[in-house]
Amino acid sequence: MDRTTDRPAHAGGAAENRIVVGGALIHRGRVLAARRSAPAEVAGRWEFPGGKAEPGETETEALERELMEELGVRARALTRLPGAWLVRPGLELRLWAAELLAGDPRPLQDHDELRWLGPAELADVEWLEHDREVLPEVARLLTAP
């Protein structure tokens, strides 16, 4: 899927899952990992920064907004990564690749540390388990010509 086929995450009925979107933010051959500071169940684990889509927002809009709020950067969502995970009942995680357009990421919200990882460093942090599943695809994107 690319940006042009992105549809509002809440176009359907109330029975649909709410979407949380995380972004594998890529810049100069590395990807940004963010260490969560809360809540306790996930604090200390690393993830792709992002958050819940608001009603009527597309996934890409939600991701770009969350990356500004959490990191203070302008970013552009590029392509959806394969997979979707039920984080808890009614909350579905989707991951996207994104590119950094402007700014230097800072842990403004939800995170206490950030690290840029190259393709050989992806296993160096303790990822949340769902995020770990897309690392082979992230490695491919980082090494693509």
Ligand X SMILES: Nc1nc2c([nH]c(=O)n2[C@H]2C[C@H](O)[C@@H](COP(=O)(O)OP(=O)(O)OP(=O)(O)O)O2)c(=O)[nH]1
Burial 44-72 (b: 16+ CB within 10 A, else e): eebbbbbbebeeebbbbbbbbbbbeebbe
Shortest distance, CB of residue 93 to ligand X, whole angstroms?
A: 5
What does the alpha-carbon distance between residue 124 and residue 117 come to, in Å, rounded to a whole number? 8
Q: Is 61 near ligand X (CB under 6 A)?
A: no
Size of the site for ligand X (CB under 6 A): 14
**Phi, then psi, of 103 in degrees rounded to 5:** 105, 165
Q: Is 135 near ligand X (CB under 6 A)?
A: no
Within positions 104 to 123, which residues make up the interface with ligand X, using CB under 6 A? 110
Q: Using CB atoms within 10 Å of the CB of residue 39, give its burial: 0 to 12 exposed, 13 to 18 middle, 19+ buried.
A: exposed
Tell me which of 77, 131, 138, 142 binds ligand X, using CB under 6 A: 131
- Residue 22 or 105 with smaller CB distance to ligand X: 22
Within positions 62 to 91, which residues make up the interface with ligand X, using CB under 6 A? 87
> What residue ranges bind ligand X (CB under 6 A)?
20, 22, 42, 47-48, 50-52, 87, 93, 110, 128, 130-131
